[in-house]
Amino acid sequence: MLHHPCGLRIARGMEEKQAVLLCGSTEEEMGNGFVWRHLPQAPVEGGLLAAGLCFYQGDLVTVSLRVGDAGSGSVGWENWTEAEERECVRRTGKWLRGLGYKPGNHRWCEISLGYDPGSGSGGAVVRFHQ
Protein backbone atom coordinates (compact mmCIF):
# COMPACT_ATOMS: atom_id res chain seq x y z
CA MET A 1 0.00 0.00 0.00
CA LEU A 2 1.18 3.48 -0.87
CA HIS A 3 0.00 6.64 0.85
CA HIS A 4 -0.21 9.64 -1.46
CA PRO A 5 0.33 12.98 0.34
CA CYS A 6 -3.22 14.05 -0.60
CA GLY A 7 -4.47 11.38 1.83
CA LEU A 8 -5.30 8.65 -0.68
CA ARG A 9 -4.28 5.07 0.15
CA ILE A 10 -3.30 3.41 -3.12
CA ALA A 11 -3.58 -0.38 -3.04
CA ARG A 12 -4.67 -3.38 -5.09
CA GLY A 13 -8.45 -3.57 -5.09
CA MET A 14 -8.88 0.20 -4.91
CA GLU A 15 -11.92 1.49 -6.78
CA GLU A 16 -11.91 4.53 -9.03
CA LYS A 17 -14.57 6.31 -6.99
CA GLN A 18 -12.11 6.59 -4.08
CA ALA A 19 -9.72 8.70 -6.21
CA VAL A 20 -12.60 10.81 -7.53
CA LEU A 21 -13.99 11.62 -4.10
CA LEU A 22 -10.81 12.37 -2.18
CA CYS A 23 -8.15 13.92 -4.33
CA GLY A 24 -9.51 16.24 -6.97
CA SER A 25 -7.90 14.11 -9.64
CA THR A 26 -8.24 14.83 -13.34
CA GLU A 27 -9.65 12.19 -15.66
CA GLU A 28 -8.28 10.88 -18.96
CA GLU A 29 -10.83 8.53 -20.57
CA MET A 30 -9.11 6.14 -22.99
CA GLY A 31 -12.32 4.92 -24.70
CA ASN A 32 -11.58 1.22 -24.19
CA GLY A 33 -12.63 0.62 -20.58
CA PHE A 34 -9.41 2.16 -19.21
CA VAL A 35 -9.45 5.48 -17.36
CA TRP A 36 -6.38 7.32 -16.07
CA ARG A 37 -6.77 9.57 -13.02
CA HIS A 38 -3.91 12.01 -12.52
CA LEU A 39 -3.49 13.09 -8.89
CA PRO A 40 -2.40 16.60 -7.87
CA GLN A 41 1.38 17.01 -7.67
CA ALA A 42 2.66 16.80 -4.11
CA PRO A 43 6.00 17.44 -2.37
CA VAL A 44 7.87 14.31 -1.20
CA GLU A 45 11.50 13.82 -0.13
CA GLY A 46 12.67 17.13 -1.59
CA GLY A 47 10.97 16.42 -4.93
CA LEU A 48 7.57 16.74 -6.55
CA LEU A 49 5.50 13.54 -6.88
CA ALA A 50 3.34 13.04 -9.97
CA ALA A 51 1.07 10.00 -9.80
CA GLY A 52 -1.32 8.53 -12.33
CA LEU A 53 -3.76 5.76 -11.51
CA CYS A 54 -5.05 3.54 -14.31
CA PHE A 55 -8.41 1.86 -13.75
CA TYR A 56 -10.07 -0.79 -15.88
CA GLN A 57 -13.83 -0.91 -15.48
CA GLY A 58 -13.45 0.89 -12.15
CA ASP A 59 -10.67 -1.28 -10.65
CA LEU A 60 -7.07 -0.12 -10.19
CA VAL A 61 -4.63 -1.99 -12.42
CA THR A 62 -1.55 0.26 -12.80
CA VAL A 63 0.09 3.17 -11.00
CA SER A 64 2.59 5.49 -12.68
CA LEU A 65 4.94 7.41 -10.34
CA ARG A 66 7.65 9.97 -10.85
CA VAL A 67 9.47 12.26 -8.45
CA GLY A 68 10.57 15.37 -10.32
CA ASP A 69 12.79 18.26 -9.28
CA ALA A 70 10.95 20.43 -6.74
CA GLY A 71 12.92 23.45 -7.95
CA SER A 72 11.33 23.24 -11.40
CA GLY A 73 7.86 23.88 -9.95
CA SER A 74 6.39 21.20 -12.18
CA VAL A 75 7.00 17.68 -13.41
CA GLY A 76 5.54 18.51 -16.83
CA TRP A 77 7.12 18.72 -20.27
CA GLU A 78 7.98 22.44 -20.26
CA ASN A 79 11.43 21.86 -18.67
CA TRP A 80 12.16 18.47 -20.24
CA THR A 81 15.70 17.17 -20.77
CA GLU A 82 16.91 13.59 -21.02
CA ALA A 83 19.33 14.19 -18.15
CA GLU A 84 16.46 15.40 -15.93
CA GLU A 85 14.33 12.37 -16.86
CA ARG A 86 17.17 10.04 -15.88
CA GLU A 87 17.55 11.97 -12.62
CA CYS A 88 13.80 11.61 -12.11
CA VAL A 89 14.22 7.81 -12.35
CA ARG A 90 16.96 7.97 -9.69
CA ARG A 91 14.84 10.16 -7.37
CA THR A 92 11.76 7.98 -7.85
CA GLY A 93 13.72 4.80 -7.10
CA LYS A 94 15.24 6.36 -3.99
CA TRP A 95 11.80 7.48 -2.79
CA LEU A 96 10.27 4.02 -3.37
CA ARG A 97 13.17 2.25 -1.63
CA GLY A 98 12.75 4.63 1.31
CA LEU A 99 9.16 3.38 1.56
CA GLY A 100 10.37 -0.22 1.48
CA TYR A 101 9.49 -0.97 -2.17
CA LYS A 102 12.16 -2.30 -4.51
CA PRO A 103 11.80 -2.80 -8.26
CA GLY A 104 10.93 -6.39 -9.15
CA ASN A 105 8.17 -8.95 -8.95
CA HIS A 106 6.36 -9.09 -5.63
CA ARG A 107 3.51 -11.23 -4.34
CA TRP A 108 0.95 -8.50 -5.02
CA CYS A 109 2.53 -6.50 -7.87
CA GLU A 110 5.40 -5.91 -10.25
CA ILE A 111 7.38 -2.67 -9.86
CA SER A 112 9.50 -1.45 -12.75
CA LEU A 113 11.75 1.58 -12.77
CA GLY A 114 13.42 3.13 -15.78
CA TYR A 115 13.73 5.61 -18.60
CA ASP A 116 11.97 5.03 -21.94
CA PRO A 117 13.79 6.87 -24.76
CA GLY A 118 10.84 6.30 -27.11
CA SER A 119 8.42 8.31 -24.98
CA GLY A 120 11.09 10.50 -23.36
CA SER A 121 9.80 9.77 -19.88
CA GLY A 122 11.12 8.09 -16.77
CA GLY A 123 9.81 6.95 -13.42
CA ALA A 124 8.20 3.88 -11.92
CA VAL A 125 5.25 1.73 -12.89
CA VAL A 126 3.40 -0.53 -10.48
CA ARG A 127 1.27 -3.25 -12.09
CA PHE A 128 -1.01 -5.09 -9.72
CA HIS A 129 -1.41 -8.87 -10.00
CA GLN A 130 -5.05 -9.82 -10.39
- In the chain, what are the domain boundaries? 2-128
Percent of the chain clearing pLDDT 90 (strictly above):
32
Q: What is the pTM of this model?
A: 0.83
Tell me the pLDDT tens digit for each residue of 9-68: 777 888 887 777 666 778 899 999 999 998 888 887 677 888 899 999 889 999 999 987
Write the CA distances from 34 to 15, 62, 66, integer angstroms. Answer: 13, 10, 21
Each residue of 22-31: b (16+ CB within 10 Å) or e?
ebebeeeeee
Q: Name the amino acid, one letter, at 90.
A: R
Tell me the pLDDT tens digit for each residue of 86-126: 998 999 999 899 888 899 999 989 999 999 998 888 999 99
